[in-house]
Amino acid sequence: MAFESLAYALLRIFSGFLFACFGAQKLFGWPVERAAELDALTTAAGLIELLGGLLVTFGFATRTAAFLCSGTMAVAYWQFHGLRSGQPLPIQNGGVPAVLFCFIFFYVFAYGSGRLSLDRAIRRRKDH
C-alpha cells in the first residue's frame, strides 16, 4: 500500500511538471521555442498548462486543477487532432500526448492530491 501511494504521488508530480513545461513553452518559449505565435486560445491553453500543471505538481487545489487540465486536453484533442486530421486513432493523428494527459489528470481529479502534497499538509495542520 505504501508503494502504491508513493507511485501515485510520483505520477502526479511528474505529470504536472511535464504539463507545466508545455505551458512554459507556449507562453515563454522555454524550454524550447514556441511552436506558434500567441493568440487568445494559445495563451489560455498555456496559462492552464503552466498554472494547472504547477498546482498538480505541488498538490495544491489538486482536484480542481486536474479537472481543468483534463478538460483542456479533451478539447485540445478533438479540436486539433481528432476532428482536423480525419484519422480516428491518436497514434495516427498525433494526439497521444493530449489523450494521455487527459486521462492521467482525470485520474488525479478522481483520486485527489494524495501523498507528498500541499493539500495533505494543509489538511493535517488544520486537524492539529
Claim: this prediction has a pTM higher than 0.75: yes
pLDDT tens digits, residue range 91-128? 999 999 999 999 999 999 999 999 999 999 999 888 87
Residue predicted with more confidence, 8 or 1? 8
Write down the H helix ranges in the chain.
2-28, 40-47, 53-58, 62-76, 83-85, 90-93, 96-111, 118-127
Looking at residue 1, its pLDDT comes to 65
Looking at residue 35, its pLDDT comes to 78
pLDDT tens digits, residue range 16-34? 999 999 999 999 999 999 8
pLDDT tens digits, residue range 34-72? 877 899 999 999 999 999 999 999 999 999 999 999 999
pLDDT tier, 10 (very low <50, low <70, confident <90, very high otherwise): very high
What's the farthest any 2 CA atoms get from each other in the chain? 56
> Residue 45 corresponds to which amino acid?
A
